A = this chain, B = another copy of it.
């Protein structure tokens, strides 16, 4: 766990006390906190830390692969008038959402019960990847000058 200094070095990131405490706040919980929650936690140890520093490091860590975003689509509300059961493919590049018919994926059955007291209403698969348009127009290969 205290390889953090080495991991920063390996990633070409400067090691700072702020980074260490921010990362520790995240790695030390199984909740899925907001930047604000991380900020509140870190402030207990570094009262003078800036919220901007928390945001900046969250992005740095995410780009470096030390963290993941739970919700790729958090930037804005996204709506769906299709009320039937179906799954979603989300493009990590353009954030487009494509419906996937329910029958295209095996039923999401629970092999183990949920934690005590939890009540399940619905289960959907979220497929993450790159959509056709983004895959075709990117640095994958410069064969495309379409669109």
Contacts and interface: CB of A to CB of B under 8 A. Distances in A.
A6 B103 CA distance: 32
A128 B89 CA distance: 17
A11 interface: no
A133 to B, nearest CB: 8
Interface residues of A, number: 76
Contacts of A80: 32, 67-70
A129 to B, nearest CB: 4
Given A78-B32, A78-B70, A79-B38, A111 B122 contact: no
Interface string A1-32: 00000000000000000000001001101111
A77 B35 contact: yes
Nearest to A96: B31
A114 to B, nearest CB: 7
A147 to B, nearest CB: 11
